[in-house]
Chain A
Amino acid sequence: MDIIVCIKQVPDTGQVKIDPHTHTLIREGVESIINPYDRYAIEEGVRIKERYGGKVTAISMGPPQAKEALKEAISCGVDEAVLLCDRAFAGADTLATTYTLAKGIEQIGRFDLIICGKQTIDGDTAQVGPGVAERLDIPYVSYVRKIEFIGNRCARVERMMDDGYDILEMDLPALITVTKEINEPRLPSLKGEVRAASIEIPMYTAKDLGIDINKIGLAGSATEVIKIFPPPKKGQYERIEGTLDEQVETLLKKLKELGIINIPL
């Protein structure tokens, strides 16, 4: 079973704070991390390999420092990694990103299953997984919370829905995106870290991939960001004081006045 895991190095948005005066992002001390959902993708890939044999390859598109994220993936059990790295990739929206990743995956060659995290925490789009599958003309299932089984030709998975989950089967090769419910990612092993320290991660440029440069980066993007601004600021909250009964009464009254609840008080 040959697995490809797509990962992205992202700023830890949980650490990002907004400067209350300038309304800009304070990035000082914000680390770059493996996108949290991609850790579940890595773990699932490694588990499948441990069970069925085969190889796990991690792929990422990003600046040279994204090598660190790939090395971390190797320390967690991934066998090989490649980085798609070229300044021409910069500014890519999801359309250009899926094109580039699909070209990188074709370069890696044979695979049975591609695993992605369900979305990244910086872009939050959840579009890259399905987009890569479409580019490669393979089936996909998003929001997978469990792989029930994987055979030679097909896999059965549980897919989160808003009202529960659906069970689906798909032909292989295929792509899935996974939620955090699917597993508990392991920490890097000592052996893995030793391997990661010595391994050479190949970097592919646009030229190496032989791709159409009108389809990558800013030039290949269908969308353009025209404005970035701070979210509307929440005012100070209103602290409701008094005895317990008074607090309950005041709160319900205020909610009613705002038309939020409709209860005859």
Chain B
Amino acid sequence: MSIKVDKEKCTGCETCVDTCPFGAITMVEGKADIGDQCNLCGACQEVCEVGAISIEAIEKEEVQDKEAYKGIWVYGEYRKGRIAPVVYELLGEGRRLAHKLNVDVSCILLGYELKDKTRDLIGYGADKVYLVDDAILKDFRDDVYGDVLTDLIEKHKPEIFLAGATSIGRSLIPKVATHLNTGLTADCTDFDIDLEKRLLLQTRPAFGGNIMATIVCPDRRPQMATVRPKVMKKMAFDENREGEIIKVTLDSINIKARTRFIESVQQVSDAPNLSEADVIVSGGRGLKDSKNFGLLQELATLLNGAVGASRGAVDAGWIPYFHQVGQTGKTVCPKLYIACGISGAVQHLVGMQSSEVIVAINTDPHARIFDVATFGIVRDLFEVVPALTKRIKQAIGCE
């Protein structure tokens, strides 16, 4: 064990006990005692005013020639003829980081019969676009996509690799990172660069959004992260930006395909999906019945948004699980989240509290949803939602 409490120095103030996210510290004979749950996160060391807690630095062998790794790669998630919107956000963020490091941003696209998106990618910040267009990449499969990506990273050695924390990114990138034996931080919401050590500072929510953690990958390359959609800012499109297009063939790549794609079933057609929508109108138990979700749908459609739901509404069978927001559903981060008749159980809040603006509509002024709200209306949603819909229709002249 490499964490120690200096019993001489410990004053028994118990600050560390309260700080430990893992509940691993107890007081034994008036002194802090660190138990088995300790995850060596260092939170206690930081708050200890007398410096009684020390974590022994572990000598790690230098496994890689870090100097050989240069540049930032963005995974250009492409599915059914379209680039995932998060890719443009990552290019914007990638450019910002690349500027600090004085390197290039590359975007890597995998697929078959790729539609030409290179202008968009370059205009939004890519300096290089790698195109891998091959029949084997027709449909997404973790094993095939993972093998190709791993091979290209090994060949080209980027120092930073970013991907969207989508249902593809969160599944595919762990395989690649494990194979490359490097670190991967999930669901990042903020990045910075420690220029002196040339490290990517990766910040993400943990413990259901109850704390934030900043994580680094000091000794291995690339430094890999998945990033929550809608958090990073894309840059203004610049049609005069120039970039290089590099076509890659798969001849020399060893691909082990052990999964087969059968078919894809679309559940949302025209409406934006929950993780990409700028506006989400969400309903809870206060909706009382499945047919009332029609009210939310109408408002959502007017705002070009998606419909979400609390676990209560999903468990009651009023709306499919696909729409569930929260701990056992989806984590969303729209510009506007309108919570209608949602009480605000923590399980729900952790899935939506990072939305830019939250409007809560609830008859109970003490509902916990108001704790995370930007604006609140204490009134029956069955009055407020139709009134909002009517007013917007009137404003845009469709009534």
Residues of A at under 8 Å CB distance from B? 11, 13-16, 18-19, 22, 24-27, 30, 36-37, 63-65, 87, 90-91, 93-95, 98, 121-131, 133-135, 138-143, 145, 156, 158, 160-171, 174, 177, 179-181, 214, 218-219, 221-231, 234, 237-240, 244-245, 247-249, 251-252, 254-255, 258, 260-261, 263-265
Contacts and interface: CB of A to CB of B under 8 A. Distances in A.
Contacts of A94: 174, 184
Contact of B206 (A122, A135, A181): A122
Contacts of A65: 36
Contacts, number: 308
A142 B118 CA distance: 30
Nearest to A238: B375
B345 interface: yes
B177 to A, nearest CB: 7
Nearest to A180: B328
A140 B2 CA distance: 35
A4 to B, nearest CB: 18
B183 A124 contact: no
B89 interface: no
16 contacts: A11-B207, A14-B350, A24-B19, A90-B1, A122-B206, A122-B208, A126-B186, A134-B178, A142-B171, A160-B322, A167-B264, A219-B60, A228-B211, A237-B373, A237-B376, A261-B303
Contacts of B262: 156, 166-169
- Give the 8 A-B residue pairs with the shortest CB-CB distance, closest first: A222-B183, A91-B40, A63-B36, A142-B171, A13-B208, A223-B183, A164-B267, A139-B258
Interface in B307-347: 321-322, 327-328, 335-336, 345-347
A133 B175 contact: yes
B155 to A, nearest CB: 19
B191 interface: no
A91 B183 contact: no
Interface string B83-120: 01000000000000000000000000000000000000
Contacts of B213: 225, 227-228
Contacts of A142: 142, 167, 170-171
A222 B181 contact: yes
A227 B140 CA distance: 36
Interface stretch (B68-76, B244-252, B355-363): B355-363
Contacts of A230: 211-212
Contact of A162 (B21, B142, B167): B167
B261 A168 contact: yes
Contacts of B36: 63-65, 87, 90
